[in-house]
Each structure stands twice: as structure tokens, then as C-alpha cells.
């Protein structure tokens, strides 16, 4: 059965059960023992397995463990249920402990021969398909399953630039995107916070990604330990030039937290052999490792509110 990148385990197992012509409960009984009811809606809850149950699921699906964990994020080590290795177990918590169930792109699924609704597990409550220019979120309303982004190609371009940044900088890229959204959430920016309504991420994304790329210019040198205090005013001046003084003020807060890294003094003769620091590995004020399902508001080092007060509401 086709695998879809980023699909939730609950969604995949539901499709697998349909394909086998049986109920999810019946299928799960062959995967392991459950602490929760076997039949739960994959739009509401994610399914978690321990290592033994994962092995059985792979056998049932006729897939290697590597194929399964490449596509299904919740089956990776970080998200496996603890427990006795000899007993195969599964669990459907009422809400995923981390991540959001976001509707998958129906056109991407159809390309793989899947015509049922697919639910992805994502760190944030929305997802943009850059191939088809569609915006999806956690809304379960089947009447508006996606928003068409063809009237706003700049949003799709921004998402492409976000993906490039994360590909290039790894976890550091994700942290910078989170910090950039946080900069836009500063009261001085006078912009709606994430969660104000369904389309706020679309409105903020192009500027946020522009800011994240600006931040990356500084951060790469900083993590490479090639930055000194006197480099900051010049960078801030340039950033203020194209982003305006309102954003500039929040960037001052950000740069104050992203101080030059302190390096232990080294004898002169060894300086040339100092290995270049990996600029993909986060350093203070951020922490490593960066959880795969951590949302933007949990990743930023900036302390003010990133989310609107009743932010769960717009996603239904
Ligand atoms: Zn698509």
C-alpha cells in the first residue's frame, strides 16, 4: 500500500484496514495490545506504537522498517511508546502529545493512488503543499478542505524558501523561522498573532521567511564562531533598511539574545587546526536537539506571546 510522507500513523492504519476489508480494531488486534479503544477517528487522535508493535505493523504492511519510518513520523524512535520490549502495544491518546493532525493534500495522495482523506502529523496546525499551491490546516470541515493559493503565488514561494532554509541549516533553520514569526508577534509590529484566524499564517509567512533569511546571514557566522559584537550594528542597520523600524526593534531583542559565542582560548599554534563548528547545530540561546514535532511557539527564544489568546479556535 502506498506510503505518504508525513502521514499520521492513525491515518495510515485506517487506510490499511480499509484495504484489507476489516475494521481498524480488528487490524490493531494483530499489531498489539491497546490501552485505549481500538476504533478512534484519525482526524482527532494519533496512534502510537512501541517497538514490537511497529515491527508487526511493518510485516503486516509488507514494508521495511526504514520505509515505514521515513514516511510515518510518529513511528520514529523519538515518538515510540516506552514499555516492555516483549509485548507489542499501541495507544491512541485523545490529543497527540505533540504535533497537530493536518489534512493532507488530496492531489498529492491521488498521485500515489490514494483516494481516501489522508491526515498528516505536523509540528504546526497548518501545511502548505508547494506542488499544488494548497493550504491545509486542522479544520475537519469537509466543505472547505483546503485554500487555493493560486491568487497568492508569493505565499507558495515563501514556503519554498522556508523548505530550502530548513534543508540548508537543518534544526537551526527551524529555530530561525520560529524566531522570525516571534519577531512579527512583537506588539510593536502591529500584526495579528498566529491563531487569530485561519489565514494568519499565510499573511505572515512571506515576511517571516524574509526575516528568517536575514537572521540566517548572521546566525551562520555566529555558530561558526566568526562573529564579534561590532558586527551587529551594521546587520541591524541593513535589516531596518528593508524591514522597517518596527521590525527592527524586535530584531534588536533577538540579536541581543543571539550573542557571539564564547570560545575557550586556544594556543596560537593550534588555531589553524580548530575544526569549523557545525553551523547546523543550535547553540545558546537555543537548545539541541530540536524535537521534530515542536511547534513554532515552543522553538523561539523570544519570550513574548506568539499565539493569539484563543488560538485553538480558528482551526475548529
Ligand atoms: Zn499537493
Segment 261-273, tens digit of pLDDT: 876 555 555 545 5
What are the backbone dihedrals phi and psi of residue 33, each rounded to the nearest 5 degrees, phi first?
-95, 140
Per-residue pLDDT, averaged over 67-74, amounts to 97
- Tens of pLDDT, residue by residue over 77-87, are 999 999 788 89
Peptide bond before 285: cis, by omega within 30 degrees of 0?
yes
Q: Taking a C-beta distance cutoff of 8 angstroms, is the pair 62, 12 a contact?
A: no
According to the model, what pLDDT value does residue 95 have? 86
Å from CA of 241 to ligand 1 middle: 36
Of 1-15, 66-80, 162-176, 228-242, least confident by mean pLDDT is 228-242
Could you tell me the pLDDT band of residue 126, with boundaries at 50, 70 and 90?
very high
Calculate how far, in angstroms, residue 128's C-alpha sits from the geometric centre of ligand 1.
8
Strands 126-129 vs 134-137: parallel, antiparallel or unpaired: antiparallel
Over residues 238-257, mean pLDDT: 92
279 CA from centroid of ligand 1 (Å): 32
* 108 CA distance to ligand 1 middle (Å): 4
The per-residue pLDDT for range 139-148, each reduced to its tens digit, is: 988 899 999 9
Start-to-end CA span in the chain (Å): 31
Residue 84: predicted pLDDT = 81
Give the pLDDT score at 316: 46
The full set of domain ranges for the chain reads 9-148, 153-263+271-309
Q: Give the pLDDT confidence score for residue 277 in this predicted structure.
A: 57
**Least-confidence region, from 30-34, 77-81, 82-86, 113-117:** 82-86
Cβ contact 121:8 at 8 Å: yes
In this model, does residue 39 exceed pLDDT 90?
no
197 Cα to the center of ligand 1, angstroms = 23
- The pTM of this model reads 0.90
What is the predicted pLDDT for the residue at 67? 97
Amino acid at each position: 500500500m502506498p506510503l505518504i510522507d508525513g502521514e499520521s500513523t492513525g491515518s495510515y492504519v485506517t487506510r490499511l484496514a480499509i484495504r484489507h476489508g476489516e475494521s481498524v480494531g480488528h487490524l490493531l488486534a494483530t499489531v498489539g495490545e491497546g490501552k485505549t479503544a481500538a476504533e478512534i477517528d484519525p482526524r482527532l487522535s494519533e496512534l502510537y506504537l512501541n517497538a514490537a508493535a511497529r515491527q508487526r505493523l511493518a510485516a503486516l504492511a509488507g514494508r521495511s522498517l526504514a520505509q515505514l519510518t521515513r514516511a510515518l513520523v510518529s513511528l520514529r524512535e523519538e515518538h515510540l511508546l516506552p514499555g516492555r520490549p516483549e509485548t507489542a502495544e499501541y495507544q491512541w491518546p485523545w490529543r497527540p502529545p505533540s504535533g497537530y493532525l493536518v489534512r493532507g493534500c488530496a492531489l498529492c495522495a491521488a498521485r500515489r493512488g490514494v483516494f481516501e482523506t489522508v491526515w498528516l502529523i505536523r509540528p504546526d496546525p497548518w501545511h502548505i503543499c508547494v506542488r499544488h499551491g494548497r493550504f491545509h490546516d486542522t479544520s475537519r470541515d469537509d466543505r472547505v478542505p483546503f485554500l487555493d493559493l493560486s491568487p497568492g503565488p508569493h505565499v507558495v514561494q515563501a514556503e519554498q524558501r522556508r523548505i530550502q532554509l530548513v534543508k540548508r541549516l537543518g534544526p537551526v533553520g527551524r529555530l530561525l523561522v520560529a524566531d522570525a514569526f516571534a519577531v512579527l508577534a512583537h506588539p510593536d509590529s502591529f500584526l495579528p498573532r498566529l491563531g487569530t484566524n485561519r489565514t494568519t499564517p499565510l499573511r505572515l509567512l512571506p515576511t517571516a521567511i524574509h526575516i528568517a533569511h536575514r537572521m540566517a546571514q548572521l546566525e551562520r557566522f555566529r555558530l561558526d564562531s566568526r562573529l564579534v559584537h561590532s558586527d551587529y550594528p551594521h546587520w541591524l542597520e541593513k535589516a531596518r533598511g528593508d524591514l522597517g523600524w518596527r521590525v527592527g526593534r524586535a530584531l534588536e531583542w533577538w540579536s541581543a539574545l543571539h550573542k557571539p559565542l564564547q570560545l575557550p582560548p586556544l594556543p596560537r599554534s593550534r588555531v589553524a587546526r580548530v575544526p569549523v563548528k557545525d553551523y547546523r547545530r543550535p547553540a545558546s540561546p537555543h537548545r539541541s536537539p530540536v524535537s521534530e514535532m515542536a511547534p513554532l511557539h515552543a522553538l523561539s527564544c523570544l519570550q513574548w506571546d506568539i499565539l493569539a489568546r484563543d488560538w485553538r479556535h480558528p482551526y475548529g
